[in-house]
Amino acid sequence: MNDMEKDLREVRKNVAKPDADAIDSARRSFMNEISGAPARRRSRFPERFGPRFALPLASAVAAALLVVLTLQMVTGSHPATAADIEDIAGLAERQQGQVEQLGQGEYLLSRFATVAEMSTTYDEKTLAALLAGADGSDDASRPDRVYFGDATAEQVERDRRAETRRKREIESLTADDLPAESVTAKRKSESVEWMDGEHVGGESQLPNTTVTYGSPDQAATAAKLRLAGVDSGFDELALSTVNTDVGRFDRFTWPSDEVRELPADPEALATRLRSKPLPFPLVRDGRSVSGDEELFHVAIGLLRSPFAKPALRAATVRMIGGISGVKVADSAKDAQARAGFGVTLTNAVPRPELVIDKRNSSVLGVNYLIDRPDRIQGANADVLRHADKARASTVFEPALVVDGAPVCSGRTASGRTVERYCPWKVRPVK
Amino acid sequence: MRRNDGELIAASIDDADAFGELFDRHYAIVHQFIHRRLGVELADELSSETFVQAFKSRDSYDAGKPDAAPWLFGIASNLIRNHARTEVRKLRAYARSGVDPVEEFAAATDARLAAGADRRTLVAALAKLSKDEREVILMFAWAELTTAQIAEAIGTAEGTVRSRLSRARKKIRDRLEAEKQKHARQSNRQEVGG
């Protein structure tokens, strides 16, 4: 372990463990809470948990689900959707798996960009609400602050001055100080994912994130708000609330062994995916998302997986068609204005809209639309709730084959070893 | 005979009390981890929530795994993500002042020594990391999980964990290095001038 890591381990090492009384009282309320829980459904991993009823029960559940899904198709509760879903599934059936095209020592590389856009009007009311909600307590000046160690007198003085200035800003900020009535900002970041034929790879953000404002005045307003401890809403954290946490599951780096053993039948696939959930509940801003929403996102990951064979891709499309609340639009656009089928889950907030290429069924992008900002909940949502408009999108570029691993180490002029992107020699995937 | 975590969780499907033993084993370390990241109030709230969510999804736990710590840290970490702004705010306050708002309620009254410049730079670098990078490096350094356990905890490939970890380390080292060189330049100038 190097020095940096030793130091890191020391940070906040001495925070107190909860004492026995605190643990005891937490345990009591926890046991209270769970003892009132309704009986759980049976184990969904019969071979592990072993009760001999589990298997028949699981089959019964599967059969029931199949009946429900079939009924939905037969009764045609989504007549327009069903035909469109078949169109997309047909396309998926003809698309070859990408991983088969990899040679020895080659990697698949996928580049994607995440774009978040927000627009907020800072009138008196919004500002008051934001100020009231701003938690400035960490940053407010505190008389009991003690400076020791190697902080110089100038540093101490500089910090004091900055805090005084900051405090004054918070106290004096009014809507009159904010010349731009409405602030529009756009944040764009780019990342790459890569993996070899055995699924060894990774994901990195490229160092070219940009935030652009509608005008210089708007940028100044945003800076003022940030300085005053009111989150301007345009920083990474608030914007990524819209899509980051759900986005973790639509990545292309789905474990290959799991993808390879999935059944290529829509009903069986749905049953399997629903019964083998993510390693932890998918939670966004403190609320669990529904099983349907989870399934939708997992399906996006499957459609993107280079390990998914054509039959599995087609089954995935048909499975999406069976999720309640799914609608297909003949034309939707991703954040780069590329058009395709739009497949959306109408009852989710934010509402995901998957844009699928009409030529080959590949995933062009996913839009996360906030139709009702007032319905957004959670710790990072305070700013979003005041937005006039907010949306986030991820756009995927077609995967490329790279000759060798995309990240390699190099040396700087001063001799330090650094990780950087190798010069890529790429060819497109068919 | 002492049952391992997997066996306890399997038993808790029918017998909720078995989950109480899991709570006894892991509550304090989960609480301490959240406390280190977000402060004691959120630690109280979120560690309870972690166990409630764990209990609700206990039938998805692979009972063949004897240690539930990665699973619990994964749930905790997911909850922590929702408070990323609070975490960053506290780290920035610490870096700026040298006084850690998170240790505020620690029993020690040792005049709350302000941290030195290196520590403050390190904390500032932590605040600069992306959510994903911070999640991984703190699970590694503070929760002391292995990269394989982290991958299991956050539901991603181990390769992804390794690349995030190395990116996080690099960013922190770069920042420390830049700060050191800035100081070196300043003291050189003083020597030449003085």
Q: Is residue B14 part of a domain?
A: yes
Please compute the mean of the pLDDT values over residues A59-79 and round it to a whole number: 36
Q: Which of B47, B167, B169 sits opposite A204 (nearest CB)?
A: B167
Which residues numbered 27-86 in B keep a CB inside 8 Å of some CB on A?
27-28, 31-32, 35-36, 40, 43-44, 47-48, 51-53, 55-60, 62-64, 71, 74-75, 78-79, 81-86
pLDDT value, residue A137 = 35
What pLDDT, on a 0 to 100 scale, did the predictor assign at position A422? 65
Are residues B9 and B73 located together in one domain of the fold? yes
pLDDT beneath 50, residues of chain B: 105-112, 191-194
Instruction: Give the pLDDT confidence score for residue B34 in this predicted structure.
Output: 96
Confidence of residue A75 (pLDDT cuts 50, 70, 90): very low
Residue at which a domain ends, from B82, B105, B121: B82
How many angstroms separate the CA atoms of A162 and A141, rounded? 9
CA A347-A351-A95 angle, to 5 degrees, is: 105
In a domain, B25, yes or no: yes
pLDDT value of residue B48:
92
How far are the Cα atoms of A58, A70, A134 from residue A67, in angstroms, in the given order?
14, 5, 51
Question: How many angstroms separate the CA of residue B162 from the nearest CA in chain A?
Answer: 8
Q: Which of residues 124-163 of B touch A (CB under 8 A)?
A: 126, 130-131, 137, 141-142, 152-157, 159-160, 162-163
Nearby residues of A27 by Cβ (< 8 Å), 6 or more positions away = B20, B23, B24, B27
Q: Residue A232: pLDDT above 80?
A: no
Rounded to an integer, what distance in angstroms lies between the CA atom of residue A379 and that of residue A389?
Answer: 19
Q: Find the range with the poorest average confidence among A29-43, A230-244, A366-380.
A: A230-244
Is-cis flag, bond preceding A207, omega within 30? no
Domain final position from B82, B116, B147: B82
The CATH number assigned to the domain holding B167 equals 1.10.10.10
Domain boundary assignment for chain A: 50-94+243-369
pLDDT in tens, A251-306: 666 666 778 888 999 999 988 887 765 544 444 433 445 678 878 888 888 888 88
Distance, CA of A185 to CA of A148 (rounded, Å): 41
B106 and A15 in contact (C-beta within 8 Å)? yes
What distance in Å separates residue B139's CA from the closest CA in chain A? 11
Cβ separation of A138 and B90 shorter than 8 Å? yes
Q: For the residues of A305-361, what is the DSSP string, one character each?
A: -TT--HHHHHHHHHHHHHSTTEEEEEEEE-TT--EEEEEEETT-SSEEEEEE-TTT-
Give the pLDDT confidence score for residue A69 in this predicted structure.
34
Separation between Cα atoms, residue B135 and residue B126, nearest integer Å: 10
Residue B157: what pLDDT?
A: 82
Q: Which of B114, B159, B166 sits opposite A149 (nearest CB)?
A: B114
Determine the Cα–Cα distance for residues B75 and B54; give it in Å rounded to an integer: 7
Domain assignment present for residue B99? The answer is no
The pLDDT score that the predictor gives to residue A295 is 83
Give the per-residue pLDDT at B143. 93
**Which of chain A's residues have a Cβ under 8 Å away from the Cβ of B82?**
245, 283-286, 378-380
pLDDT one-digit tens code per residue, A124-182: 777 666 665 543 333 333 233 233 233 445 555 665 665 555 555 555 566 566 666 78
User: Which residues of chain B have a CB within 8 Å of the CB of A244?
Assistant: 81, 131
The confidence score (pLDDT) of residue A106 equals: 80
Domain boundary among B82, B113, B148: B82
pLDDT band for position A424 (50/70/90)? low
In a domain, B32, yes or no: yes
Q: Return the pLDDT at A203.
A: 67
Taking CB atoms and an 8 Å cutoff, what residues of chain B touch A199?
Answer: 157, 159
Is position B88 within any domain?
no
Are B74 and B1 part of one and the same domain? yes
- Write the CATH number for B46: 1.10.1740.10
Domain for residue B5, yes or no? yes
pLDDT of residue B188: 63
pLDDT over 60 at A242, yes or no: no
Full domain range(s) for residue B135:
129-194
Our count of domains for chain B comes to: 2
Q: What is the ipTM of this complex?
A: 0.88
Tens of pLDDT along B52-105? 999 988 888 888 889 999 999 999 998 898 888 888 888 988 888 777 888 754
Interface test with A, best of B48, B122, B133, B160 (most A CBs within 10 A): B160
Q: How far is A74 from chain B (nearest CA, A)?
A: 32
What is the average pLDDT score of chain A? 69
